[in-house]
Structure 1
Amino acid sequence: MDSAYRRAYHSAHEALGQALAHDGGSIDPARLADEVWAVARLVDGNAALRRSLADPSREGSDRASLAEKVLAGKVSHGTVHVVKGVVAQRWSDPGAVGTALQRLGVESQLEHAERHGRLTQVEDELFRFSRIVEGTPDLQAALSDRRAQDSAKRSLVERLLSIKAAPETVSLAVQAVAGLRGARFDRSLRAFLEQASERQQQVNAVVTSAIPLTEAQLETLRSALSRQYGRQVHTNVVIDSDVVGGIRVEIGDEVVDGTISHRLAEAHRRMTG
């Protein structure tokens, strides 16, 4: 996210906060998220509208008025307010309008989860589902197939998640399937997870181990990582018998590999290299 996009998004995000706080916070964040996502898909699929809503030759107030005319009577006043807040900003790329709307929809859905005490649960469920998809080639292919109807892929995700997962997890996974501008499902889901971490002012660590770690071991690891990174660290544990022993920790692009399999591979490389 470059600095220009960050500034524009920050201003647009204020519109979301205003909408959610309106009338004593009575607006349903989940409904708002669904409507904002619907507008994002509308903008993403209509090149002429997308260009008009991001036209730098027009004043931001003119673009906001155009959005209001297009959406009046079709979505709630809160959604109109959010969309006007987005298109009033100056974006370097017309496609950024849809991207910003999708991101704000995610924020609204996460707000709904937080209000119901499910934010950490949603983050954990999204991570586990992403790993299931990654480890199931047939499922990955089905969700990534651009020839398949989005409705069919959404139905598949709902069947897989709706029984046990939080409603916000289902909604976010479904939105990832219907990614904008041909975005890959796994990348969209990863972006949503990053937003969930940012909302909780923490970073995500993927911990790979041959056996499950005890809660005491995880707490010791979280404390050490939190001291090192200066922020709260949320751990997602992946069990992989191939590592033999030890653990591997991934935070963003940083990898600390202390597994036995890695050490053996390094020893073999030095002996044969």
Structure 2
Amino acid sequence: MSSTHETRLGELDSLLDSQQVSPRVAEELFALVDLLEAQPALRRALTDTGAEQQTRAHLVDQLFGGRISEPTHTVLHAAVVQRWPSSSALLASLDRQAVRATLSCAQQDGTLEQVEDELFRFSRLVEGDRNLQAAVSDRSAPLQLRRQLVDDLLAGRADSVTNFLAKRAVGARNRSFGVTVEGYLTLAAALRSRTLAHVVVARPMTAEQTTRLAEALSGQMGRQVSLQVVVDPNVIGGVRVTVGDHYFEGTVAGRLENARRQLS
């Protein structure tokens, strides 16, 4: 992703954060994503770099003026006047804001940390079950059936926001379920002013070990860190940590592999 693209996304993030975000705003943003995904011609018209910004903005006013809330209109207007590399990039930017609005509502309700934990655990459940992963990822099956499967697994067992976002992730067209949920988790951590750390260990850590590791990583990264801990006996012992572009290899399996490479 280019720095310019990241800047545009950051500007939309800040704009949404300055609005009065409500469940209605999140619902409307997702509805816009679905609408634009279903109508490629409209999506192209809203990203036509040959048209003036005012022309694209006027089209938004014509189509959606008075039909969506002011915060949603503000975000859509700002997104449309930007120059995106493709129509799918506009779609992705609006989807990002829809997810952030949903997570923001959870934060207002005091359930964001719970949603983050439940999404992570469910993604691990899916990844660890080949049949479930295949059923969720089978794009030849009707989307409604795949979402119903998720609902059957989560309804009454997880927060409604967790259930909703998991079902949205099932419908992601350009990314796998796991990668999509990972993106949601990154956005959730950012809303809590935290950085996401993916931790792989050979056996479950104690609460004390988890706290010490989180404190050590927070001190090294200069901000609070949320841990996603995965138990993998194949690492034999030690810990492997990935934080963004930073990678820390401290597992026995990793050290053995490094030694093997040096000897080969």
The alpha-carbon distance between structure 1 residues 142 and 68, as it changes in their structure 2 partners (threshold 3 A), is farther
Which secondary structure state, in structure 2, belongs to the residue aligned with residue 256 of structure 1? Answer: strand
Question: Relative to 1, partners in 2 of residues 1:252 and 1:53: Cα closer, same or farther, differing over 3 Å?
Answer: same
When the two structures are superposed, what TM-score results if normalisation uses the length of structure 2? 0.89
Give unpaired runs (5+ residues) of structure 2.
none
Which residue matches 1:208? 200
The answer to whether 1:113 aligns with 2:145 is no
SS at match of 2:98: helix
* Maintained 8 Å contact 2:47/2:80: yes
Structure-2 separation of matches of 1:246 and 1:91: 44
Give, as a single letter, the amino acid of the residue that structure 2 aligns with 1:149: P
**Secondary structure of the corresponding residue to residue 146 of structure 1:** coil
Count matched residues: 264
Q: Work out whether 1:157 is the aligned partner of 2:150.
A: yes
Of 43, 66, 70, 2:59 maps to 66
Distance 1:17 1:233, change over 3 A: closer
Please say which of residues 217-226 and 182-191 is displaced more in the overlay: 182-191
Matching residue's letter, 2:4:
A
Q: 1:229 aligned to 208, 221, 226, which one?
A: 221
**Structure 1 residues 101 and 2, CA gap change in structure 2 (3 angstroms):** same
2:121 paired residue number: 128
Letter of the 1:216 partner, please give it.
Answer: E
The alpha carbon displacement at 1:61 in A equals 2.9
Partner residue in 2 for 1:23: none
Letter in 2 for 1:126: L
Aligned to 2:6: 6
Residue aligning to 2:236: 244
Contact 2:200-2:231 at 8 Å conserved across structures? yes
> TM-score if structure 1 supplies the norm length?
0.86
Farther-moved stretch of structure 1 (79-88 vs 142-151): 79-88
**Aligned residue runs from structure 1 range 157-196, under 5 A:** 157-180=150-173, 182-196=174-188
| Cα displacement string for residues 47-71 of structure 1 (whole angstroms, at most 9, x for unaligned residues) | 2101110112223232122123223
RMSD of aligned residue pairs (Cα, Å)? 2.3
Which of 48, 67, 74 matches 2:41? 48
Report if aligned partners of 1:112, 1:168 keep a CA contact under 8 Å in 2: no
* 1:175-213, Cα deviation, whole Å (9 max, x unpaired): 111214x33222211111111122222222222223321
- Runs of at least 5 residues in structure 1 that lack an aligned partner in the other structure: 21-26
Residues 202 and 239, structure 2, Cα contact 8 Å, conserved in 1: yes
Q: Is the 8 A contact 1:11 1:89 kept in 2?
A: no
d(CA) in 1 for partners of 2:221, 2:15:
31
CA distance in structure 1 between the partners assigned to 2:49 and 2:258 by the alignment: 54
2:249 maps to what in 1? 257
Q: CA deviation at 1:226?
A: 1.3
2:27 is equivalent to residue 34 of structure 1: yes
Aligned partners of 1:48, 1:186: CA distance in 2, in Å? 30
Q: Following the alignment from structure 1 to structure 2, what is the Cα–Cα distance between the partners of residues 15 and 64?
A: 17
